[in-house]
Structure 1
Amino acid sequence: MGTSAATLKARLDSLCVRYDTAGALAKDPLSVPLAYESPLDREVAAFVAAHLAYGRVDPMIRAVRGALAPLGAHPADWLRERSESAIQQHLAQALGNWAWRFHTADDLAAWLLAWRRLDGESRAGLEAHLLPGPDGDSDAALSRLVQRLRAELPASYGSRFSLPDPREGAACKRWRMFLRWMARPSWPDLGLWTRYPVDQLIIPLDTHVARVSRFIGLSRRATPDGKMAREITEALRLLDPADPLRYDFALSHLGILGDCPGVRKRSTCAGCPLYTVCRAGSESEIRTNKS
């Protein structure tokens, strides 16, 4: 398409303005951890919300709130103050028939117990377990943690669904989302971690981000995998080296909220900030989708 970096950045900046709103945030699972006050409570809520973040938005948010309800107003203290057996017993009774898509109440209990064990080792949540090494490789720590949890958690479908490994080529959308929430200090994210390098975050790649990114030339790959996530992130890093993921919320909500029809027409798209740089429905995009 030949769009200049300056033009693309200006259009994406305008998109951020459009979606940096309370209304857009209300349709995002991040709204759940934001309802808590203490940093560690927000981390626990984010750990649950990010990994249940798939499927239709409204019922998903209800499922996340239902999952956290038995832990009360201070989930971190609740988990720290109880034994594993007491936690399992309480959740088995309190959650009843709770489920979300692939995840069962047993999967959720195992996930919360995993946070408790990891926090018990660091006494400061999960940041230490996910920090990039001296070489800046952010995937090495994530892969180690995933492999550890695969060994420690029950081998249920819900647990395995939460444990993709970036070393195996996975996009790791829900892990990337959790990391973005925790590390980015700017709206709408939590910015609770101070040591994780914001410029090393990888975009949480979902179908919406993948589709819009192809439309505006951030990627030409057809498969939404780890390679596409890195390609999009590298393209965004050229526009904002210090904070490439500041565009993620807007890109995803353009699709989540149903504002992108997927076919470029003036009648439906002229109001979109990306209209002049979008190639949706063009021959090149059709070929990319078929490749």
Structure 2
Amino acid sequence: MKTKELKDFLDSKVALYNHPKFLETDPIQVPHDFSNKEDIEISGFLTATIAWGNRKSIINNAKKMMELTDNAPFDFIINHKKKDLDVLQSFVHRTFNGDDLVQFVKSLKHIYEHHDGLEAVFSRHAEAKSLQNAIHEFKKVFFETPHLQRTKKHVSDPLKNSAAKRINMYLRWMIRQDNAGVDFGIWKSLSPAQLSCPLDVHSGNVARKLGLLNRKQNDAKALAELDKNLRRLDPHDPVKYDFALFGLGVFEGF
């Protein structure tokens, strides 16, 4: 497929899937239950953290996390007492358990009290055309406080060759300016041009079939290759094509 042909094809798929109906089956529906900026970004971060496996299970468990934090995640994180954390111990999603959730609550409290919140941490280390170093620095800040070693695996590090799919997806949710009402675009200090496509089995396989990706592993090097090719199609909003790649893979079996 020639570049213009490929762009037209993918743009048509973006129009199809970047639509409010997308919310019905996607974990991004969970932060859409909130209106306060901090509640949106915290619920989004916790939801994205457990976004692997069965999508229905992800959504159900993300909603369970919100219930455990009294459906007021920011207030819970800032004002919880030690005894309030006991209720979180019952949580489990695959390998992410109650101990991990308690650790995440403590780390998030530290970030809001000492680093001006999630957006500020990512903004501080952002590069002109990439947030991969910002993700690496974010992980360092996230685990500045005493922490469980086991919990570190739940925050990816692109500088250790991870595609960091879940954090890149989360950043898309927060940063991408979306007139369709799916992505939030509430982090104004960062630009959609800096985003990277959340690379998983579905988007990776479709990208390979379309000639957007040659590398066989879904790792940081593959992400850099895919990013380069998506930026050629739209340098200002490259990750809108996540909707096309994901939709083609999951809904159309492309």
TM-score scaled to structure 1, two decimals? 0.80
User: Could you tell me whether the CA contact under 8 Å between 1:92 and 1:106 is conserved in 2?
Assistant: no
Structure 2: stretches of 5+ with no match in the other structure:
none
Which residue identity does 2:75 align to in structure 1? D
Distance 2:204 2:56 in 1: 22
CA 1:58 to 1:116, structure 2 compared with 1: closer, same or farther past 3 Å? Answer: same
Distance 2:239 2:127 in 1: 21
Which residue identity does 2:161 align to in structure 1? G
Aligned equivalent of 1:138, options 131, 141, 165: 131
Post-superposition CA distance 1:161-207 (Å, at most 9, x none):
32221111110111111111111121421111001121011111111
Distance 2:10 2:126 in 1: 32
Distance 2:85 2:63 in 1: 14
Q: Partner of 2:59 in structure 1?
A: 61
CA 1:237 to 1:68, structure 2 compared with 1: closer, same or farther past 3 Å? Answer: same
Distance 2:57 2:127 in 1: 41
| 2:228 corresponds to 1:234 | yes
Distance 1:135 1:253 in 2: 29
| 2:202 corresponds to 1:204 | no
Q: Partner of 2:20 in structure 1?
A: 22
Distance 2:209 2:126 in 1: 36
The DSSP-based 3-state class of the residue aligned with 1:131 is helix
CA 1:133 to 1:112, structure 2 compared with 1: closer, same or farther past 3 Å? Answer: closer
Runs of 4+ in 1 over 4 A off after TM superposition: 132-135
1:140 positional shift: 2.4
Distance 1:29 1:113 in 2: 23
Aligned equivalent of 2:248, options 237, 249, 254: 254
Which residue identity does 1:54 align to in structure 2? W
Q: After the TM superposition, which of the residue ranges 206-215 and 16-25 deviates more from structure 2?
A: 16-25
User: Could you tell me whether the CA contact under 8 Å between 1:132 and 1:138 is conserved in 2?
Assistant: no
Post-superposition CA distance 1:139-158 (Å, at most 9, x none):
222212213434543111xx
1:227 positional shift: 1.1
What is the root-mean-square deviation in Å for CA atoms of aligned residues?
A: 1.9
| 2:189 corresponds to 1:191 | no
1:134 positional shift: 7.5
Which residue identity does 1:216 align to in structure 2? L
Which residue identity does 2:169 align to in structure 1? M
Aligned equivalent of 1:80, options 78, 81, 94: 78
Post-superposition CA distance 1:246-282 (Å, at most 9, x none):
111232133334x21x5xxxxxxxxxxxxxxxxxxxx
| 2:113 corresponds to 1:115 | no
Q: Say how many residue pairs are matched.
A: 250
TM-score scaled to structure 2, two decimals? 0.91
Identity %, equivalent residues:
29
Structure 1: stretches of 5+ with no match in the other structure:
263-291
